[in-house]
Structure 1
Amino acid sequence: MSHAAAELTLAGMAEAVLRTADGREKTALSHRYAALWRDSRAGGAPIEIGTATPPMQPARPARPELLNPRDVPRRKPGSPEGRKAILHAIAHIELNAVDLHWDIIARFTDVKMPMGFYDDWVKSADEESKHFNLVCDRLEALGSFYGDLPAHAGMWRAAEDTAEDIMGRLAVVPMVLEARGLDVTPGMIKIFQSAKDPETVSALEVIYAEEVGHVAYGAKWFNFLCGRDGIDPKEEFHSLVRRYFPGGTKPPFNEEKRAEAGMPPDFYWPLADEVPVAWS
């Protein structure tokens, strides 16, 4: 599909991002399409939602090498190499997040949703694209780059497992994986504060603030679908996490930021003592 053809529909744009391998090119395209969507919603040329045939796995650059989580080397977080490894892992997460947010647009066009649903995930994809580039810029300033180290091969598994279940996707990706980011990011910020690296601290603070909104979008649209179908959201969330991501919530939890995102403690604490998560 050409980029020009993809611009005809939002789903086509989403698919074009998913089929772009290079991280910087993928995020540039993501920014471009997000801007087109915003313009259309502000009264510009209308863009239909359309349909797409997204790949089961997004295009990826030749590097980084993707390894089983057990095989990804561990490094001391306080060391310079450890801090580079942290940033590399974050860049990998952010690149996957760009694809996850475009994928939910491309993959579930058969589910009738309000336009606000698309607004939210386009905004999230646009922000994740910014996050990827912020972290890549910091890596490069520290003499590294995305692809310099091996990365986690399991990051896309949740997307594959929920490829036919929009509620499962909302439960697992924003409400488990991205909520976990709210739990761990303050600790990472402290590591870079201790290292006297204010530029990285600033980048991580931007990511931390905006990720709250992504978790909130997940909770909002999960609750919307539950309400539309007359389903109890808490019970459905527990059922879906047990099905697709057993042991996917574990303390410590950032209860303040989770609450800000619309996730009360009775959503995640009941799952906390169950089977440990295999990759996190």
Structure 2
Amino acid sequence: MERQVCVVTGSSSGIGAATARLFASRGWNVVVNYSREAAPAEAVAAECRALGAEVLVVKANVAEDADCRALAAAVDAKWGRCDVLVNNAGTTKFVHVRNFDGLDAADFQRIYGVNVVGAFQMVRAFTPLLKKHPGSGVVNISSIAAATGLGSCLAYAASKGALNTLTMSLARALGPEVRVNAIAPGLVETPWLQNGMGAEKYAAGVEAYKVRSALADIILPEDIATTAWYLGVDARKTTGEVLLVDAGTKVPPP
């Protein structure tokens, strides 16, 4: 039986890497994408190959439409199919919400270019492959920041709100062949967040997050990976949804 294919953008670490590994462990071929350093992506690819998957490693900046189209062409040439696309690539700038002068138009354009425009460009590039197998899925990695207005900066929160709206619009446009959903994680344990916040602020943020969540915990990359599998593969009658994975911050302990 022909193996299915999952493409994960920004998959050299964190959520993307965990997602690639999970799909590989469940019998899928995977695409590991990176935009800067090849070595971490190759390490993830080696892990996926050890799990039995065929792996394609591709350097591409999703903010560049030509890169998105080239990535789709490479997948088409190798396997001729894409069954799940996970738009995980993202960027931000760590600026306190009250520091208006810490952001300028170029920051907004760069963040939106990856987080929103990049997701759209990837879907556009992969639509022909996704439509070849009705029931295929797109999973956009959003953030709880879209609902709370908090997060690494104002531009990041706004971009994730835009991504949620884009998810609904794409679900309408691509149905019935392709389902499009999003995941909104809470605080995720990743090097990206730890490095951005700094060790001291990150540790304090983790403890504060646990206090205000019903499950008294933070989110692991593997938690998002299993949710990406659910929305991409198992949730056959779900589209246009944003699924919150936050350990229960909406229902804090009494």
- TM-score, length-normalised on structure 2? 0.31
Q: In proportion to residue count, which structure has more strand?
A: 2
- Greater Cα radius of gyration, structure 1 or 2: 1
- TM-score, length-normalised on structure 1? 0.29
Q: In proportion to residue count, which structure has more helix?
A: 1
